[in-house]
A and B are shown apart, each in its own frame.
Chain A
Amino acid sequence: MRPYFLVFLLASFVPQSLVIAEDNAREIQSQQSITDRSITMPTWSDWKRVLFLQDYNTRIVILGTTLLGMSAGMVGSFALLRKRALMGDALSHATLPGIAIAFIVATTLGLDGKSLPVLLVGAALSGLMGIATILLIRNLTRLKEDAALGIVLSVFFGAGIALLGIVQQMETGHAAGLESFIYGKTASMVASDAWLIGSAGMTCMLISILLFKELTLLCFDEGFADSRGFPVVFLDMMLMGLVVVVTIIGLQAVGLILMISLLVIPPAAARFWTEKMVNMTIVAIVLGALSSMIGSAMSAIFPNLPSGAMIVLVSTAMFLFSMVFGVPRGILIRKLRRYELNTKINRQHLLRGIYEYLEARGLLNEKQRLESIQVPIDAVFQMRSWSRPKLKKIIKRAQQEQLVELVHENQMQLTEAGLKEAIRLVHEHRLWELYLITYADVAPSKVDQDADAIEHVLEPEVISELESLLVQQTSEGVLQSPHTIEIDRNKTNSQNPHARRLR
Chain B
Amino acid sequence: MSGLEQWNWSLDGWIIAAGILCAVSSALLGNFLVLRKMSMLGDAITHAILPGLAAAFFISDSRSSIPMFAGAVLAGILTALFTEWIRSFGKVDEGASMGVVFTSLFALGLVMIVQAADHVDLDPGCVLYGAIELTPLDTILISGWEIPRVVVVLSVVLLINLLFVVLFLKELKLSSFDPALATTTGFNATLIHYTLMTLVAVTAVASFETVGNILVVAMFVVPPAAAYMLTDRLVRMIILSAILAIIAAVLGHISAMTVPRWFGFQSTSTAGMMAVAAGLLFIIAALFAPRHGIIVVFVRRQILAWKILAEDIIALMYRIEERDPQLKPDATYLREILFSSPLPTDWSLHFLARHGQVIDSNGTYELTETGRDRARQLVRSHRLWEHYLVEHAGMSAENIHKQAEQLEHFTDRQLREKLNKDTLDTDQDPHGRPIPPEDERG
Contact = CB atoms under 8 A, between A and B. Distances in A.
Interface of A: 1-14, 17-18, 26, 30, 33-37, 39, 80, 83-86, 88-89, 137, 140-147, 149-151, 153-155, 157-166, 169-170, 179, 183, 257-258, 260-261, 263-265, 267-268, 271-272, 304-306, 308-310, 312-313, 316, 319, 323, 329, 331
B61 A35 contact: yes
Contact of B96 (A158, A264, A306): A264
Contact of B217 (A33, A153, A304): A153
Contacts of B228: 142-143, 147
A271 B92 contact: yes
A331 to B, nearest CB: 6
A9 B170 CA distance: 40
Contacts of A268: 92, 96-97, 99-100
A8 B127 contact: yes
A89 B99 contact: yes
Contacts of A312: 103-104, 106-107
Contacts of A183: 110
Contacts of B200: none
Given A89-B43, A308-B107, A161 B113 contact: no
B201 interface: no
A265 B103 contact: yes
Given A169-B266, A306-B111, 18 more contacts: A3-B114, A6-B122, A8-B127, A9-B126, A11-B65, A11-B68, A34-B116, A36-B119, A89-B43, A147-B39, A154-B275, A157-B214, A158-B274, A158-B279, A261-B107, A265-B104, A268-B97, A272-B90
A195 B123 CA distance: 34
14 contacts: A7-B208, A10-B63, A30-B121, A146-B40, A150-B40, A154-B217, A157-B214, A158-B218, A163-B268, A260-B99, A261-B103, A263-B99, A265-B100, A312-B107
B80 interface: no
B91 interface: yes
Interface string B271-287: 11111101100100010
A323 B98 CA distance: 15
Given A169-B266, A268-B92, A331-B89, A6 B117 contact: yes
Interface residues of B, number: 92
B282 A5 contact: no
Contacts of B276: 155, 158-159, 162
A142 B37 CA distance: 12
Interface in B135-182: 138, 149
Contacts of B63: 9-11, 13-14, 17-18
A151 B294 CA distance: 17
Contacts of A316: 100, 103-104, 107
Given A141-B294, A146-B38, A154-B222, A161 B128 contact: yes
Nearest to B46: A154
B43 A153 contact: yes
B209 A11 contact: yes
Contacts of A163: 268, 272
Most chain B CB inside 10 Å of its own CB: which residue of A6, A34, A35, A146: A146
A37 B103 contact: no
Interface string B17-45: 00000000000000000100111101100
B99 A6 contact: no
Contacts of B73: none
Interface in B198-256: 208-210, 212, 214-215, 217-218, 220-222, 225, 228-229, 256
Contacts of B113: 3, 6-7
Contact of A8 (B90, B126, B275, B294): B126
Contacts of A313: 104, 107-108, 111
A273 B260 CA distance: 53
Chain B contact surface mostly: helix
A89 to B, nearest CB: 7
A149 B39 contact: yes
B269 A162 contact: yes
A310 B111 contact: yes
A137 B286 contact: yes
Contact of A80 (B96, B212, B229): B96
B99 A11 contact: no
A85 B68 contact: no
A6 B116 contact: yes
Most chain A CB inside 10 Å of its own CB: which residue of B38, B57, B214: B214
Interface of B: 34, 37-40, 42-43, 47, 50, 53-54, 57-58, 61, 63-65, 68, 86, 89-93, 95-100, 103-104, 106-111, 113-124, 126-129, 131, 138, 149, 208-210, 212, 214-215, 217-218, 220-222, 225, 228-229, 256, 260, 263, 265-269, 271-276, 278-279, 282, 286, 292, 294, 297
Leading 10 A-B pairs by shortest Cβ distance: A158-B275, A155-B279, A162-B272, A165-B268, A261-B103, A150-B221, A33-B119, A154-B218, A161-B272, A312-B107
Contact of A85 (B95, B220, B297): B95
A34 B64 contact: no
A151 B272 contact: no
Contacts of A142: 228-229, 292
A30 B120 contact: yes
Contacts of A261: 99-100, 103-104, 107
Given A151-B279, A312-B107, A304 B121 contact: no
A146 B37 CA distance: 6
B111 A305 contact: yes
B37 A12 contact: no
B250 to A, nearest CB: 16
A305 B93 CA distance: 31
B15 to A, nearest CB: 14
Nearest to A6: B117
A86 B41 CA distance: 11
A10 B68 contact: yes
Nearest to A17: B63
B265 A166 contact: yes
Contacts of B282: 151, 155
B90 A331 contact: yes
A163 B50 CA distance: 25
Contacts of A155: 218, 222, 275-276, 278-279, 282
Given A155-B278, A316-B104, A3 B214 contact: no
A166 B64 CA distance: 34
A141 B214 CA distance: 24
A2 B107 CA distance: 14
Contacts of B95: 83-86
A319 B273 CA distance: 38
Given A34-B116, A89-B43, A158 B273 contact: yes
A192 to B, nearest CB: 26
B221 A147 contact: yes
A329 to B, nearest CB: 7
A166 B260 CA distance: 7
A141 B90 contact: no
A163 B272 CA distance: 8
B138 to A, nearest CB: 7
Contacts of B271: 158, 161
Contacts of B292: 141-142
A12 B107 contact: no
Most chain B CB inside 10 Å of its own CB: which residue of A2, A36, A83, A145: A2
Most chain B CB inside 10 Å of its own CB: which residue of A14, A154, A312: A154
A226 to B, nearest CB: 19
A1 B128 contact: yes
Contact of B100 (A33, A145, A264): A264
A26 B132 CA distance: 28
B71 to A, nearest CB: 10
Nearest to A2: B117
Contacts of A164: 128, 269, 272
Given A153-B217, A264-B103, A308-B107, A85 B275 contact: no
